[in-house]
A and B are shown apart, each in its own frame.
Chain A
Amino acid sequence: MAEIFETLKEPIYETLYLTFVPLLLSVIFGFIIGTIIFITASDTAIIDTSKSPLLRIINRIADALVNIFRSIPYLILLIWVLPITNALTGSMIGAASAVPSLVFSATPFFARMVVIAFKEIDKGTIEASKALGANTFQIIFKVLIEESKPALISGITVTAINLVSYSAMAGAVGAGGLGFEAFQYGLARHDNEMMLITTILIVILVFIIQITGDLLCKKVDKR
């Protein structure tokens, strides 16, 4: 048993790396893109877009990009992103090489989560903040984020869980991690014990993420 865990130490570390590094980057990029889509939407009334065709074009383009990248299955996206991966990391295999494709996949997903979270905020609250003298920057950081915290935390949780499952897929094509172990031992050697252990580990990881997310969500929800 101890021997198995010794073998799995490196894959566990790789899976955590493949989940949380892309998560951090996707949350940052996704937040920026989601916020741009939300505040440039014509029905939000944070900034007046009626007189600025540029803002409307930005809104359309950002929205379309998010939809396009969300529609591409991860496995196909992975292959499309390979040249970028190669340029960025100098390699097409290894844990770091899977990061760009995971970010490409999770960013539009989280951006959509941000838009949904912001849309849930009562328009009256935004209007009131404007009336009290808040500028756009303050509305984003002091109203939108604060008022949608539970939804944003749920969004991060779901994105993280998605990344766990995508990282297993990336693992299978050379990024390492528990997915790679399961692929190697299970498919190639019919090692059922190893299959079971890697599966259980992944399930435990997902549970930990979900439970932490739920607890945090509950803590910040004062509604």
Chain B
Amino acid sequence: MIEFKNVSKTFDGKKKVEAVKNVNLKINDGEIFGIVGYSGAGKSTLIRLVNQLEKVTEGSILIDGVDVVKLKGKDLIKERQNIGMIFQHFNLLWSKTVLENIAFPLEIAHVDKKTRLEKAKAMAIEVGLEEKMNVYPSSLSGGQKQRVAIARALVLNPKILLCDEATSALDPKTTEDILDLLKKINQKYHITILMITHQMETVQKICHRLAVMALGEVVEVNTVDNIFTDPKEELTKQLIQTVDTGLDVKKMATNLKEKYPDGHLLRITFENKNSEEPILYEIINKLNIPINIVSANIKNTQAGALGVMYIHIKMRSDIGIVLEEFAKYGVKAEVI
């Protein structure tokens, strides 16, 4: 378990920057935990505190009860070997082959050459790079480079894997592949994954729980399903709306409001249990209202399928009746 206790980090410089402010978080063993927020929210700093690439200004970070903040020298290096890390720009050693890169953590941990090559080979096969073991990173694609980085991060069998915007430099298809790989690794080795990203899609696909960060503070923590069906904070709503439609929902709502002052834009979320019923059809029939579907899609999360639909009702003063009707079917509807 990783436990952040009143963690703060302030950068002293010409201008003081409070990058992380009084963060309290508990991340369970074997969990994929996401931290989301816009750039400058303090996510990068927060994740670097876990393996002490940055030192905290205040607070403690317990990993299985050990406060890593207090670790120094050899003890810190030992702890870092228990925490793998991958990065947005892969950060491979270009002077080493794929196999040598994967074996690098073993090399610095003084494992003998034969054992480390064996382990590195097994790891290369695990991440699907058996064909590329003896080439240099410069000849690899972005996705392959990230696979090397993942293999390198896992070769010491760490308990925790930190992902710093690991898919942000990759195209959508490659992102999907890398996320699948991370999911597989999480299930197979029961490794705890802590990932930071500004992409809500990434979090939604593989995370069990997530925290939303803004201006150095954690503003909301919940399971992915709850965040998507029932976001509490304004920032969370904004973040998930961009994922829902790929559109700027706020702008869309304003435009519709101008055209149809009496109209209403609704965000409706369907969960697994009711995603197969013709709910919309029944409501249209019963209330006899014209409904325009603005956007609709289904997302796969760790907990199952999640349907999100944006509908627009042109004229309806008694919108409450519509919301009640949705509620009867156990569907969450929210006026935007």
Task: Report which A residues bind B (CB closer than 8 A).
Answer: 48, 50, 122, 124-125, 127-135, 138, 142-143, 146-147, 149, 220, 222-223
Closest 9 CB pairs of A and B: A128-B91, A124-B91, A131-B85, A222-B136, A133-B81, A132-B105, A133-B80, A146-B95, A134-B108
Contact indicator B136/A133 (Cβ below 8 Å)? no
Interface residues on B, range: 20 to 34
> Please, how many angstroms separate the alpha-carbon atoms of A146 and B138 in the complex?
15
Q: Which of A124, A133, A134, A147 contacts B95 (CB 8 A)?
A: A147
Query: Which one of A128, A142, A149 lies within 8 Å of B87 (CB-CB)?
Result: A128
**Which residues of A sit under 8 angstroms from B237, Cβ to Cβ?**
none
- B104 interface contact, C-beta 8 A: yes
**B12-54 vs A: 1/0 string, CB under 8 Å?**
1000000000000000000000000000000000000001010
A13 CB → nearest B CB, Å: 36
Verify B108–A132 contact, CB threshold 8 A: yes
Chain A: which residue is nearest B95 at the CB level?
A146
Asked if residues A143 and B93 are in contact (CB atoms below 8 Å), the reply is: yes
Q: Can you give 24 A-B contacts (C-beta < 8 A)?
A: A48-B55, A122-B89, A124-B87, A124-B91, A125-B91, A125-B93, A127-B53, A128-B87, A129-B104, A131-B83, A131-B162, A132-B105, A132-B108, A132-B152, A132-B153, A133-B77, A133-B81, A133-B108, A134-B77, A135-B108, A138-B108, A146-B93, A222-B136, A223-B138
Chain A proximity of B115: nearest CB distance (Å): 16
A residues near B105, Cβ cutoff 8 Å: 132-133
CA distance A142 to B96 in the complex (A): 10
Query: Is A142's CB under 8 angstroms from B81's CB?
Result: no
Q: Which one of A50, A122, A131 has the highest number of Cβ atoms from chain B below 10 Å of its Cβ?
A: A131
- Complex-state Cα separation, A133 to B94, whole angstroms: 19
Give bound CA distance, A124 to B88, whole Å: 10
Q: Which residues of A contact B87 (CB under 8 A)?
A: 124, 127-128
Contact with A along B51-84 (1 / 0, CB 8 A): 1010100000000000000000000011011011
Q: Does B177 contact A (CB under 8 A)?
A: no
- Whether B296 is near chain A, meaning CB under 8 Å from some CB there, is no
Give the distance to chain A from B145, nearest Cβ to Cβ, in Å.
Answer: 12
B107 at the A interface (CB under 8 A) = yes
